């Protein structure tokens, strides 16, 4: 987990707490929306994934679903579109580097609109 958060703070330029919450929100979204078996494989490649998911902000009562809902949640954390895309790319890249490339490709293909952010 520390390696991923360090990469995000360095490459995206957000603080570590925001990075942890953002990664948690992304992983929670993938866990909810993606194919269960592939998401489990991907989460296994991200050390501390469940801890990060636990740090994600709760969904609001009026939250919308899908990629737009995730984007709204991340913007609510004070992130802009460039930062959101940067965090998503770093998170997916990290998981891919740690051995879950095929699973990630299937997850991205299965969630409408996700490919434009990663």
Tens digits of residue pLDDT in 44-92: 888 899 999 999 887 654 567 788 889 999 999 999 999 999 999 999 9
Tokens of 71: 């984007």
- For 104, the 3-state DSSP assignment is helix
46 and 98 Cβ atoms separated by less than 8 Å: yes
Tokens of 91: 């998170």
Q: Which domains, and CATH codes, for the chain?
A: 2-116 (1.10.490)
Tens digits of residue pLDDT in 10-46: 999 999 999 999 999 999 999 999 999 999 999 988 8
Query: Considering the entire predicted model, what is its pTM?
Result: 0.91
Q: How many helices, marked H, and strands, marked E, lie in the chain?
A: 7, 0
């Amino acid at each position: 987990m520390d390696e991923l958060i360090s990469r995000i703070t360095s490459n995206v330029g957000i603080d570590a707490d925001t990075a942890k919450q953002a990664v948690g929100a992304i992983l929670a979204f993938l866990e909810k929306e993606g194919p269960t078996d592939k998401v489990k494989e991907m989460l296994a490649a991200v050390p501390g994934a469940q801890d990060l998911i636990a740090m994600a902000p709760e969904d609001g009562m009026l939250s919308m679903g899908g990629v737009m809902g995730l984007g709204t949640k991340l913007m609510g954390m004070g992130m802009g579109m460039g930062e959101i895309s940067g965090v998503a790319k770093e998170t997916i890249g990290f998981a891919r580097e740690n051995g879950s490339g095929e699973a990630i490709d299937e997850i991205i293909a299965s969630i409408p609109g996700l490919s434009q952010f990663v």
